[in-house]
Amino acid sequence: MMTCTPYSCQVTSSRRSTALEEQAGAERTRLTRAVVVDRAMQLADADGLEALTIRKLATDLGVTPMALYWHFRSKDELLDGLAERLWSEIDLTVDSEAPWPVQLRRLLESLLRVLRAHPGGSELLLHSEKQGEMSAFAGEAWARAAEVTLELLRGAGFDPDTASAIARSALWTGIMLVRSEPGAAWLTEEERIEAQRKKQVALASLPLAKYPRLVECAVPMTACDDPDQHYEFGIRLFIAGVQAIAADDRRR
């Protein structure tokens, strides 16, 4: 029979701790921050931010959670890394010779391309805004995007307050357009068509004398067949609004 003295237990515990640290160290050599962010983004896109945890990510990568803590000490830090990746994918190349509305449109289109490519992207940026935290936006990639946008708007003649408001509104416009894209992703094609049909029937069945315009517009008000048209209209509406503000400022 083997007994466990305080000393032997302490040695065993120390050895176990050392073994775990060595395992984590070996795992860290196989991982890079970029690899962790890549896989985390894939999981967030597939399952949503709520389902993304350090433990789940570690299991998916075949490592221990300790190996990930070397790169990200918490889920909040991981989300910051994902936000930084999103900002880094935005194409900030604009034609400085083009009119400023064209340049602004190109930047918004680039933001939308990135958010549409990552189903979890809009949720990630919205999460950061809801938390009231700037940490997810404090990276180099965000700073470059903000600087390019503000430089464009200041060059167009907007004062710092208005330029900042337009830049923030551009971000919210991008998030809103993606999250309101026609055709809910959680519905099958058959379910989407049936839901659209029910909405059209409901509007078309309203009393014509009381709601003539709703009855007239029953089909287009419930249409969700052309996501590209949805984005194009949203972009046009935003740019036209900014141009109207510029015209109004010039008249003052």
Structure confidence by residue, pLDDT tens digits, 27-56 = 444 688 889 988 988 888 888 878 888 888
Q: Which region holds residue 206: left if phi is over 0, alpha if psi is between -120 and 50, else beta?
A: beta
Q: Which domains does the chain have, with CATH numbers?
A: 6-73 (1.10.10), 91-251 (1.10.357.10)
Which of 12-26, 123-137, 182-196, 214-228 comes out lowest in average pLDDT? 12-26
Confidence of residue 4 (pLDDT cuts 50, 70, 90): low
The rounded distance, in Å, linking the Cα atoms of 175 and 86 is 13
Q: Is the pLDDT of residue 22 over 60?
A: no
pLDDT in tens, 143-194: 999 999 999 999 999 999 999 999 999 999 999 999 888 765 556 778 778 8
Q: Is the pLDDT of residue 243 over 80?
A: yes
The rounded distance, in Å, linking the Cα atoms of 92 and 76 is 26
The rounded distance, in Å, linking the Cα atoms of 223 and 197 is 9
| Residue 245 neighbours by CB under 8 Å, 6+ apart | 158, 162, 166
pLDDT in tens, 96-155: 899 999 999 999 999 999 999 998 888 888 776 665 554 444 578 889 999 999 999 999
The rounded distance, in Å, linking the Cα atoms of 150 and 165 is 10
Which of 133-137, 173-177, 214-218, 248-252 comes out lowest in average pLDDT? 133-137
> Within 13 Å of residue 67, how many CA atoms lie on the same side as its CB?
25
Query: What pLDDT is attached to residue 19?
Result: 45
Percent of the chain with pLDDT over 90: 42
The rounded distance, in Å, linking the Cα atoms of 213 and 225 is 21
Which one-letter amino acid corresponds to residue 215? V
The rounded distance, in Å, linking the Cα atoms of 158 and 174 is 21
Residue linked to tokens 């083997």: 2
Assigned token pair, 144: 């470059």
Residue linked to tokens 């962010």: 37
